[in-house]
């Protein structure tokens, strides 16, 4: 039996979702949580396998909630259920530890299938088939951030304490993985995917 929490500040929606999931013989929704401040107490009491979470709960960012509790309870799997079909949100959800990103416009059957897939296997699933999860390493993301500041490979090598040849290798790998043709293309796509902040580019332009 899959033990599920629903974290959503709209109680009516949460209870409706609970009714849908509990029609399945292998699913039980132990709690519909509307206040994220109470999450830890409920987790300690019920030990859920899966938490279905909205992007925004009251004034709290649901993605930050995922990051916080995934760090404390790494075995709990999080599914984001959102009305926003935005690559930036999906990227950040997966970076923060979510196992799936499901749109509220998707069918109940789709959500049920995702719950089963996430429970059974260590996978990451996004509703949009056009969405590609970046496979940049943390070091490559760090270098991409430095690239967005219009630094040369020599300057990046000094900041990152790596040889210029190694930086050149990483830059080439970043461009290839992001399927672009240039450093600027990599930076623009990195911003669109939420890998780096747009403010980094603006900060650089402002100080030219």
Query: If we measure between CA atoms, which residue out of 119, 73, 71, 70 comes closest to residue 98?
Result: 70
CA distances from 169 to 121, 143, 153, 165, 189 (A): 34, 11, 10, 6, 19
pLDDT in tens, 136-195: 787 898 999 999 998 999 999 999 999 999 999 999 999 998 888 999 999 988 877 667
- Banded model confidence at residue 207, pLDDT cuts 50, 70, 90: very low
Beta strands 125-126 and 98-103: pairing type? Answer: parallel
pLDDT in tens, 111-138: 999 999 889 876 566 665 444 455 678 7
Look over the chain and give the mean of its residue pLDDT values, rounded to a whole number. 87
What is the Cα 140 distance to its own chain's centre? 18
pLDDT in tens, 39-79: 999 999 999 999 999 998 888 999 999 999 999 999 999 99
Phi, psi of 70 (to 5 degrees): -70, -30
Query: If we measure between CA atoms, which residue out of 199, 189, 81, 61 comes closest to residue 134?
Result: 189
């Amino acid at each position: 039996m899959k033990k599920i929490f629903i974290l959503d500040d709209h109680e009516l929606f949460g209870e409706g979702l609970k009714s849908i999931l509990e029609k399945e013989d292998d699913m039980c929704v132990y709690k519909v949580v509307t206040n994220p401040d109470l999450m830890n107490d409920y987790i300690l009491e019920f030990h859920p396998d899966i938490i279905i979470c909205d992007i925004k709960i009251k004034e709290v960012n649901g993605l930050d909630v995922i990051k916080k509790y995934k760090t404390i309870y790494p075995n709990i799997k999080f599914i984001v259920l959102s009305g926003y079909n935005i690559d930036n949100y999906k990227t950040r959800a997966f970076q923060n530890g979510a196992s799936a990103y499901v749109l509220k416009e998707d069918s109940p059957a789709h959500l049920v299938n995702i719950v089963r897939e996430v429970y059974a296997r260590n996978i990451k699933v996004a509703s949009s088939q056009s969405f590609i999860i970046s496979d940049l390493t943390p070091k490559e993301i760090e270098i991409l951030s430095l690239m967005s500041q219009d630094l040369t490979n020599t300057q990046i090598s000094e900041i990152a304490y790596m040889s210029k040849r190694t930086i050149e290798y990483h830059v080439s790998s970043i461009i290839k993985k992001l399927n672009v043709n240039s450093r600027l293309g990599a930076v623009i796509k990195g911003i669109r995917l939420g890998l780096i902040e747009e403010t980094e580019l603006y900060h650089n332009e402002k100080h030219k």
